[in-house]
Chain A
């Protein structure tokens, strides 16, 4: 007996909630683990004693821990991450502005990785054990081996500094997006290519593919119309699971190319010890990660009716 899909979705959603709660608790405790007075830390280095005292009361830091957490959680749920210790603007506003840049980068990279990775993987599988296959696998090996920041600098050196094709950093025009997106996509592209190739090769050995060939269908149609559709299922998961690496990579890529996203804001906040901003970004990143994992899980069940959800 299979449980209805709706119930699985609800259960999976309910399961994600404690994780999200846990994330806020972990961040809450982490910031309070910092040696020293959190009020002074949040107030920043330039604050006077009076200001710190006012902030302590304002933030409820003079109250017991569980109550502090409850208040913290309530304000986070209301989208209130407090004020930046450096700029004195609401953290949520700053995150909102930067989020666009990070999402643009992440979505472009993912699209690039799927398009390039799928094509390369299909090619490698179609020309299995030929020079094409070896070339794709070598490139994929390079893609998973190379650290994202090193690749970024190398691309910058070649295409921006040396050839002047694209700007070296910054944002504003679509041309600014090219290098960061390619850099960030490299690892995922390699993973998608490997996964597609492996999964497609496996599928091509199955009986229904032999039947399709026996019917006299051309090899191209066999691969694209019959095998690939079935081979895509693990690829969907892998794209979703890549997301965590992608977020980590985004921090590095954004810093390399001065891309004004959340990752770069996080790094500058860490350097400036701007804890409200750090707190807010870490929660947003973790929440994005949890949600994407959730969507991946649900998508996995949706694309493959054979999977038992229970």
Chain B
């Protein structure tokens, strides 16, 4: 590498850090093509989920004359065991999955942030007790914790949200506590205290806003994890109950027919519709936050 290109590289690096935070984030995103591609896919999924009632018909419309059909112009992804249109159900499923993910993350935030701030700010015995509680939750692998809570609470949308949220709480408590410990020692906190600000005001006005950045970053990752956990529960038949079109639940249902029909009708029909659908090819990191649920729905019941 010649000295001149090296210099210009450095210049570019420096310049890109100068503009406002929003601007530089946008620039960085444009340069990282996988991230940009992921964002586009995520955007499309969100948009189609939001616009589902405008785009598609009734996801629960049963048609026994068209059960387990291969893809056709009338049903681009085929139909399921009750003759319901799979594309419609996949798109409506996005609504359910996003909703569960978002609610679970919000619930985890609502519980994790206050507990984390108080634990970090108060220190001493309070901190010790809270952190041992967090240790306890972290002694269970995340998915297993959600699964155990479902075992206790029973299935259903609300319980899935609660279970997934509880599994995410320890992450937030740790994160917020860590940030609070750092912020607590800053000079501006000392200054605020010198000006006569009480603990309440310091926490609400100074500590909380300053520890939100890592929390927001974590939440984008956590949303994907939450959707995935919920889909996993659904796949096991322990999440959202049919007929609600949730991706994991649909996958689990689909698998039944994949195996039953292989067993009953052999593999003669199985070659149909084996093409890879776009949904399977989502490779960008963002795909983690969108769930790969629909992929199988493009494939499984069609093989009947």
**C-beta contact mask, B281-302 vs A, less than 8 Å → 1, else 0?**
0111101100111011001100
Give the segment of B53-61, B112-120, B229-237 that binds chain A: B229-237
Pick the most buried of B140, B149, B258: most chain A CB atoms within 10 A of its CB: B140
Given the complex, which residues of A lie within 8 Å of B140, measured CB to CB?
23, 26, 282, 285-286, 289
User: Is the beta-carbon distance between B148 and A282 smaller than 8 angstroms?
Assistant: yes
Interface secondary structure of B, over-half rule: helix
**What's the minimum C-beta distance from A209 to chain B, rounded to whole angstroms?**
20
B245 to chain A, nearest CB (A): 16
Contact status B270-A161, CB under 8 Å: yes
Residue of B232, B248, B291, B293 ringed by the most chain A CB atoms within 10 A: B232
In-complex Cβ contact of B295 among A27, A154, A285 (8 A): A154
Chain A hits for B285, CB < 8 A: 141, 144-145
| CB pair B143 A145 closer than 8 Å | no
The reply on A301 being an interface residue by CB < 8 A is no
Given contacts A144-B288, A145-B287, A248-B141, contact A22 B274 (CB under 8 A): no
- How many inter-chain contacts with C-beta < 8 Å in the A-B complex? 143
Mask for B241-261, Cβ within 8 A of A = 1, else 0? Answer: 000000010011011001100
Give Cα distance in the complex from A278 to B153, angstroms: 13
Bound-complex Cα distance A157 to B270 (A):
9
Which residue of chain A is the closest to B255 with respect to CB atoms? A153
Per the 8 Å Cβ criterion, residues 191-209 of A in contact with B are none
Which of B132, B143, B291, B293 is in CB contact (< 8 Å) with A251? B143
Indicate if A142 sits at the interface (CB-CB under 8 A).
yes
B139 CB contact (under 8 Å) in A147, A248, A286: A286
What are 17 pairs between A and B in contact, CB < 8 Å? Answer: A22-B136, A22-B139, A30-B149, A147-B231, A149-B248, A149-B251, A153-B255, A154-B299, A157-B300, A161-B262, A164-B267, A248-B144, A252-B235, A285-B144, A286-B141, A289-B140, A289-B141
- Known contacts A147-B293, A154-B296, A245-B143; 13 additional CB pairs below 8 A are A26-B136, A141-B285, A142-B283, A149-B251, A150-B293, A150-B295, A154-B280, A161-B270, A161-B303, A247-B144, A252-B232, A278-B148, A285-B144
